[in-house]
C-alpha cells in the first residue's frame, strides 16, 4: 500500500485535455502522458518520450522500446511477439515454446521439453534432443540420426544404414536386401526374405 501511495503522489494528473473526438489526454506530474481513446484503447508515453505502450480494448498490448524493439502481447493466444531492430523476431507461446525467426530466413524452435529444431533457409533441418540425439535432414530428404550412445543412422531413398561405435555397419536397401559389415571384416548379405546369400569371413 505504501508503494501505491507513493506512486499516486508521483503520478498525479497535472493536466487533462478532452478532445471533440472523445479522446482524453492526461499529463502526469512525472511527465508521462496517457491518451485514452473512445474505443477503450490507451496509449501511454514515457516522460522521456522514448517508450510507448498501447493497451487495446481486446487485452492486446504493444510496447515500443527506446531502441525501437516492438513487443506485442496477444491476449487471446497468450503469445508474445518481439521484433528487434536487427530483424530478429521472437515468439513466446503459453506452453513455453519459443520460436526465433532470423533475418536470413533461419528459424529456431525451442520446445517445452528443451528439444531445439533449426530450419535453415536452404531447406536443411536439424533437431537437437535433450538426451543428446541429433537429427539432421537435408533438403533432398536424406536423414542422419546421431544417437547419444555413439550409434549413427542414415536414411536415404536407396537405403537405411546404422553404424555402431565398434565399427559394425548394418544396411537395409530399398529392395529389402540386408547387408552387415562387422569390424572384423566379416560381411553378411541376406535377401529380402532373410535368406543368407553371402557370409564372407
Domain range annotation of the chain: 11-94
First vs last C-alpha separation in the chain: 85
Chain mean pLDDT for the chain: 91
On the question of pLDDT at 66 being above 50, the answer is: yes
Mean pLDDT of 59-88: 96
* CA-to-CA dists, residue 26 to 9, 18, 117, 154, 161, angstroms: 15, 9, 47, 66, 70
pLDDT digits (tens, 9 = 90+) for 144-178: 999 999 999 999 999 999 999 999 999 999 999 99
Integer Cα distance of 153 and 143 in angstroms? 8
Q: Domain spanning 11-94: which CATH class is it, in words?
A: mainly beta
Coil, strand or helix: which one is 163? strand
Q: Is the dihedral of CA 150, 144, 183, 176 positive or negative?
A: positive
What was the pLDDT predicted at 8?
52
Integer Cα distance of 183 and 192 in angstroms? 23
Coil, strand or helix: which one is 30? coil
Integer Cα distance of 58 and 54 in angstroms? 11
Integer Cα distance of 88 and 71 in angstroms? 12
Residue predicted with more confidence, 91 or 2:
91
Q: What grid cell was written down for 64?
A: 515500443
Integer Cα distance of 21 and 41 in angstroms? 13
What was the pLDDT predicted at 1?
45
What was the pLDDT predicted at 10?
58
Amino acid at each position: 500500500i505504501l508503494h501505491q501511495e507513493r506512486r499516486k503522489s508521483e503520478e498525479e494528473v497535472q493536466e487533462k485535455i478532452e478532445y471533440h473526438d472523445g479522446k482524453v489526454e492526461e499529463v502526469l506530474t512525472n511527465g508521462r502522458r496517457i491518451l485514452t481513446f473512445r474505443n477503450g484503447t490507451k496509449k501511454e508515453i514515457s516522460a522521456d518520450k522514448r517508450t510507448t505502450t498501447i493497451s487495446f480494448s481486446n487485452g492486446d498490448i504493444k510496447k515500443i522500446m527506446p531502441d525501437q524493439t516492438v513487443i506485442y502481447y496477444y491476449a487471446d493466444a497468450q503469445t508474445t511477439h518481439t521484433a528487434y531492430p536487427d530483424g530478429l523476431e521472437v515468439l513466446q507461446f503459453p506452453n513455453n515454446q519459443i520460436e526465433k525467426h532470423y533475418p536470413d530466413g533461419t528459424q529456431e524452435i525451442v520446445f517445452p521439453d528443451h528439444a531445439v529444431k533449426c530450419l535453415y533457409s536452404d531447406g536443411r533441418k536439424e533437431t537437437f534432443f535433450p538426451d543428446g540425439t541429433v537429427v539432421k535432414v537435408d533438403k533432398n530428404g536424406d536423414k542422419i540420426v546421431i544417437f547419444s550412445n555413439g550409434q549413427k543412422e542414415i536414411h536415404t531413398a536407396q537405403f537405411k544404414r546404422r553404424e555402431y561405435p565398434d565399427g559394425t555397419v548394418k544396411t537395409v536397401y530399398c529392395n529389402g536386401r540386408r547387408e552387415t559389415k562387422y569390424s572384423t571384416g566379416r560381411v553378411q548379405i541376406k535377401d529380402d526374405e532373410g535368406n543368407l546369400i553371402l557370409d564372407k569371413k
